[in-house]
Structures are given as structure tokens and as C-alpha cells.
Structure 1
Amino acid sequence: MKKLVILGNGLDLNFGMHTSFKDFFDRSNNINKIKSLLNLYGKQNWYDMEDFIMRLSSTRPNGASMMTHPGVYQETYQKYVSNINFIRKNIIHYLKKEENELEIAHFSNNVETFLKNADSIINFNYTDAVTQAYNVSNEKIYHIHGSLKENFIILGNSNESLVEGIPKKYRIFSKPYLRDILDLRRYLSREKRYSRKNIQNIINIFKIYNIYNYTYYKLPPYFTNSKIYKILCELNDDYDENSKYFYDLKYMNFKAEHSFQLKEIRSLLLERQENVDILSPFLDYLHFNCFKPFKIRLPGLNKGKLTNIFPEDIEEITIIGHSLESDKEIIFDLIRSCVNLKTINIFKYNGNELKNLNTILKYNNLDHDLIINTVDY
């Protein structure tokens, strides 16, 4: 039986860190500028900031729907994008300082037990201070929205379904889009054979590709010919997806069974390009992910060696500090993908997290035969 733990900002708060959005507002050195940029007062947590970004992504400054007037997104873009980037940089600076200056830590035996027994951990936080304090191996932690250590964090729409229908090219704060960028950065960093300049060039190409073309079997027109398109369509017809976001056994088997076709696509694409130095690693990454949006590989350790934990192997999920107000799509997809899931443990704070969990389960028809336990910090 494999056990997965999901960590949210409530864990850092309970530990004694000041990581709420209100804390950031109250303590930031640039607080007046940030407040004037966003005009957000009294916000309590990260979800509120992400809710603001979600509304920014789907409405004009005057409140009109982007669906009604999609062309006016440019005025929103010009007004806010640089502001959000400024805030993101300030959040990184603030949280690094908060980690370094943590004075009083509140340890929990229950938290420690679940962290130590976890086979894999999904961390929605940008910080590592708490897991390090509990001596949890970083190798079994997946930072789903980036980390301070990487100097890259994702700040995006609170819930992707609420901006469905907005043209992709307008959804620059889409978390799936930003996770794609983060995963490419990690892939290039692991390879350790690209200069910083080349990495940035590759990422810039990928951003354009990602916005317009990163679907299940679509490539830019300048990449495609009839032969490539035929193979991509055949692969898509053969793929019976179980999880939208996670690397599962079905996806692994699909990749193995179609390795020849995937190599053929890469070769055909590469021979058509001129700037091979830039496009070769770009195509390597797409090939690695079957020319589909990447799947999250849950890390684990087996006799000290890094391995993958598959959703099909997970029988217990423990949620610590995540309110389940945001990121509902990916949490729902995870629970749905764990086809042998028997138990969900959830640490209680104010009761809303349990209510939100039950809503997710019931709305998606996942509330049958599951044991739900509440746990005190």
C-alpha cells in the first residue's frame, strides 16, 4: 500500500511561519506599492491572491466578461502583467527571509508521523522549512508550483475551470500552462548540457508553442506535414487517458508500446528545421512527453533509490494544510486517478477543508466506499 501526502499553506502557518497573503501584505518592504498596484486590502491567504488573478484573467478592469469582449484583454495585460511579476519576485524575497528568520517552530507528532510514513509528497507550498525540520527527504517531495530553491514560483488562477472558454492565448496565468514552463525548466536543468542563454531561448520558443498548440495531437503548422499529422492522430486514437495531470501505469505502457512512432515523429520534425541547436532539446522534451502536455511523476524512494509512485498504487491520501479552495481540478484528477484509494485523512483547522473535500468528492461522484478521517494537528 502506497501513501501520498498533500501539503498546503496551512502546514507552514501551523508550524509558525507567516506565509499568508495578509502576512505578506503586512510585512513586505514594498507594501505601499503592492497595495496601490492591486488595491487589495485585508486579504487572508494565497487563495485570495489567486482569485484576483483568476478574475484578472477572465474580465476587463471594469468587470465586463472576457468572453463577451476577448479583444480587450490587451488592456488588462498591459496594466497588470508586469505588476503580477513584480509581486511574484517580492513574494520570493519575503518567503526566503521568513524561512531564515523563523524563531518559534510548533512541532506536531501527528504531522511528523504522516510525513515520515509517506511514500510520496505533493507540496503546494514554495517553502521547504517545515519538511526539512521534520527531516523529510526532499527526493520524495514534488513541488507542484515551484519552490524558493528554484527561484521560480507559480502564481496563477485559483481554479482553472472558472476560466474555461477563455482563448488560450489570453490565459497567461493558467496554472497548467505555467506548470508546463516549470517542468521544461526542470528538464533542461537536469540535462546540464545547455547554456543559460540557450535555456532561455528554448523556453521562449516553448512558451509560444505552449499557448497556441500544446494539445493532445496538435503541432504548429511549420512543424507538421501530412505524415507527422497522421502518426499523431493514430497515437491520439490509441490513447485511453486515465489521468489528465499524472503519470500513471496506463501512460507508461502507452509510451513503451509506441516508442517507435514517437521516435519517428522527432526525426521527421528535426530534419525539417534549420536552427537545430535550439530546436533539438525542445523536441527532445516533447518526445519525452509523447508530444502531449507533461504528466506529473510522483517521486518516491525504493531502497534509497529514486523511483516513480503511480496513482494506481496509492491507497491512502493525507491532506495537511490545504483548504481545497483552490487547485480543485488537479486534486480531483489525482483522487480520480487513484483507482485503489481506500482512505483520505484530512487535518482539520476550521472545518472548511472537510466541507470542501466532501463537495469535491460528491460533485465528481467520488464519495462512494471511501473512508474519511479527520486528524488534529
Structure 2
Amino acid sequence: MGYNKLAIIGNGFDIAHNLKTTYHDFYSEMPDDLKNDWETLLGEFKIEKDTWTDFEKMIDKLTNDWFYSSEGFFFSSANNEEKNTAKLEAKIDEINHVFNRLSEELQNYLTNENKKEVDVIPSVKKYLDTHTKAITFNYTDTANLYLNDTYHIHGSIKEDYIVLGYKLRVEHTGMPSEATSFFKSKLRELLNFKRYLVKLGLSPSEQEKYETEFFPHLERLFTGRGGYCFDYSEETMSLYQEHLNLTKEGFSVWQYFGEPKRQNLSLELEERMKKERCNQISEIINDYGEQNSFSTFPIVTGVKFEDIEELIIMGHSLEADEEIISEIIRSLTNLNRVKIFIYKGETERNIAVKENLIRSLSVSENIKIERIPYL
């Protein structure tokens, strides 16, 4: 099925369907002990909250500020390394414990919301047809009321895994990997691996086994070194370097979207390298890594952005996950129409911000933008 329309779906879409999925809805149902721990962290770093976008910014700020705060969790370790290293590790554990519980509670909360009966909205049904592909940033399956082909970019309740964390940023030199546990790109890579294991038809216990084995590779992917946890022999590395010199082929370039890329190696060299890898890692992890030359996977949505003529924004602020949204809009080279759905309570300023962002990012100059209320 070819698509010429793309719908980007955010939390406002669920709100329009009368699901209680705002940050305040979740916060009001949060267990008291978790709420106290969360408020303690917010007070410690003087953070205020209001929306899910603010919530993600809080995760970013908390995982960043404590590292360089006036408390000197990192830099003062030079004066008393043992004492301050322990303090650093304790702060990492504290923050990760709170975020892990928040993620678990949010998943439980949304699982209950997802069970509610939801009515189809006529205005939505009118614009979501068989030529529409949806990319949803929600964890619920509300969009499936209208479309059979919906890509959950951050996991879903159905998959029992959700991506909750902070967006792309430049990590400080020396930042421990444990302190980047809620980096969305890292969590999306784990999601992609989980989906790969599901496609293989593995049992839950087998999936858990391979996820545990994959974790060190995941951590290394998001360090300065990159790649997976294996090493080639000197002779093999020499042959590989000869290949690069002859073909001028470099490592796979990291990207948000597209198909996974593999290097074009000779059969002899490929078999030699695979044999050395599989002496160090399992074949399943090797096969997964091979698909993108042991780099991070791009997001494979199943839609050709250059074929899209109409963009539909349904309840997404465009501010959360701005780097991904920006990449999508820039890739829509034949875009000429945009429809922005407006839900009750949305401010004129928020709508104008979306319109201005779309115009500033689009490669097309004559885009027609239309506002449509949920009816």
C-alpha cells in the first residue's frame, strides 16, 4: 500500500478521545511514596512541571544538572576520589530508581486508560483513510480505531515496553553510562532489538536472555567508542582496512530514518569477520548487528517521506521530540498541505508555534495549513 498522507499523533489525540492522559492526570494517581521522592528531586533542582513536555525536560535537567551542580558530584572527585565517586554513584542510583518507578507506574496507569471504550470522532475518521500512515508518539492504541498501519515510535502498552526519557543532547565527557539510562535514543535502540526478538518468535525467557546479553553492546553503542563488544584479530583488521582504502567505504552514518545499511564486504572477508564475532557474541545478536554494520539502527517506519503530500498533526505539540519531528518535516520534499487538529483548551499560541515551526522547516514554500477542530 502506497501512502501520500502522514499523520503525526501525540497526547492531545488521546485527550480528544476523553482519555485521562495528561501529566496532571497521571500525577494525581501516583503512589504517595513515589510522589514524595519525585517532589524531593524536583525541589532539590528547583524544577517546576506542567505538561509531558516539561516532564521530559525534567528528566533531561535532573540527569544533567546533578552532574555539574554546585554540589560538585563529579568534579570534586579529584579532591577526594573515593568519597565523591560513592556520592556520584548514589545520586545516579537515586535518580534512576525514581525514573524506573515512574516509568512502571505510567505504564500501569496507561494500561488502565487503554482499556476504556473510546468513540470514533467523525472529523478524525474523515481524514484518516487507507492512504494514510500514522506515526504515533503515544503508548495507547487509540489510533488503531482508524488505521491498521500505525507505527509506535516509543513503544506501546501492547508491547509492554515504553520509551520515557530525555531527547538528544551532547553528553559530558566522563558521564557514566548509568547516568544515560533514560536517553531516548538508547531506549529506542533497545525497543528495536526487542521487536527483532519478537519477530524471531522467541519465548519470553529466551527474549529476556538475549536482552541481558545485548545490554553491554547497547551501553557501548552510546559511548564515544561505539560499536558492539567484540574485537577482531590484527590480521582481520588489516584486511578490513585494505577494503576501506580500496572502496572508500566508511562506517554506517547514524541517522534517524531510513533503511538499515550494511557494508559491502567481499564474501571471504565477511565470513572471516563473522566467524571471529560469533566466537565472542551470540549468533542472534550478530545477525541483528550485521543489518546496520553494528551501529545504531535508524527508525524504520515503512513510509517513503518523499511520497507524502499531506501532513496531519493530531495532538502533538511538535516541541517534544523536536529533533525527530524536524527530521520528518524536512524529509517531506513534496509536502503541500498540512492539517492541524485543535483539541479543546489548546491555546492560540500553541497552535501558532506549530504553524511557524512547520513553515520554517519545510522545503516547500507554498504550504497550505488548515486548522480542524475535533468534532
Residue 309 of structure 2: SS of its match in structure 1?
A: strand
| Aligned equivalent of 2:200 | 191
Q: Point out the more displaced range, 110-119 or 331-340.
A: 110-119
Counterpart in the other structure of 1:324:
318
What residue number does 2:81 align with? none
Q: Partner residue of 2:80?
A: none
The residue aligned with 2:162 is 153
The offset of 1:335, in angstroms, is 1.1
Structure 1 residues 197 and 97, CA gap change in structure 2 (3 angstroms): closer
AA matched with 1:288:
Q
Task: Please tell me the residue identity of whatever aligns with 1:37.
Answer: D
Q: Quick one: distance in 1 between partners of 2:287 and 2:304?
A: 23
Cα contact 1:146–1:154 (8 A) shared by 2: yes
In structure 1, how many angstroms separate the alpha carbons of the residues matched to 2:72 and 2:339? 39
What amino acid is aligned across from residue 191 of structure 2 in structure 1?
L
Q: Conserved in 2, the CA contact under 8 Å of 1:5 and 1:114?
A: no
Partner of 1:296: 299
Deviation string, structure 1 residues 135-160 (Cα, Å, up to 9, x no partner): 421xx111100101111101111x42
Q: Which residue of structure 2 aligns with residue 120 of structure 1?
A: 133
Contact 1:3 1:315 (8 Å CA) reproduced: yes
CA separation in 1, counterparts of 2:341 and 2:73? Answer: 38
**Alignment partners' CA distance in 2, 1:70 and 1:230:** 46
Question: Alignment identity in percent?
Answer: 25
Distance in 2, Cα, partners of 1:65 & 1:118? 55
Aligned equivalents of 1:312, 1:59: Cα separation in 2: 40
Structure 1: gaps spanning 5 or more residues: 299-307
Select the residue among 8, 12, 15 that pairs with 1:13: 15
Q: Which residue of 1 aligns with 2:82?
A: none
1:328 to 1:310, Cα distance in 2 relative to 1, 3 A: same
Could you report, residue by residue, the CA deviation over 1:225-244 in whole angstroms, capped at 9, with x for unpaired residues?
Answer: 233356568575497x7x92
Report if the CA contact (8 A) 2:333-2:364 is conserved.
no
What letter is aligned with 2:240?
I
Q: Aligned partner of 1:59: which letter?
A: D
Give the structure 2 partner of residue 301 of structure 1: none
The verdict on how the C-alpha distance between 1:340 and 1:221 changes in structure 2, with shifts beyond 3 A counting, is: same
Checking the alignment, whether the CA contact within 8 Å between 1:315 and 1:343 is kept in structure 2 is: yes
Q: Which residue of 2 aligns with 1:285?
A: 288
Moved more, 205-214 or 142-151: 205-214
Corresponding residue for 2:272? 268
If the length of structure 1 is used for normalisation, what is the TM-score? 0.79
Higher alpha-carbon Rg: 2
Change (3 A) 1:118 1:22: farther
Q: 1:65 to 1:369 in 2, by over 3 A?
A: farther
Distance 1:184 1:82 in 2: 23
Aligned length: 345
- Is residue 356 from structure 1 mapped to residue 336 from structure 2 by the alignment? no
Q: CA deviation at 1:263?
A: 6.5
Q: CA deviation at 1:181?
A: 0.8
Q: 1:69 to 1:155 in 2, by over 3 A?
A: farther
- Taking the aligned partners of 1:58 and 1:135, their CA distance within structure 2 comes to 40
Select which of 327, 332, 337 maps to 1:338: 332
CA contact (8 A) 2:335 2:364 kept: no
Q: Which runs of 5+ in 2 are unaligned?
A: 78-84
Aligned to 1:78: 93
1:63 positional shift: 4.2
Q: How big is the alpha-carbon RMSD for the aligned residues of Structure 1 and Structure 2?
A: 3.4
Shift of 1:186: 0.4
Contact 2:143–2:150 (8 Å) recurs in 1: no
Q: Which position in structure 2 is the counterpart of 1:305? A: none
- Larger deviation, residues 186-195 vs 60-69: 60-69
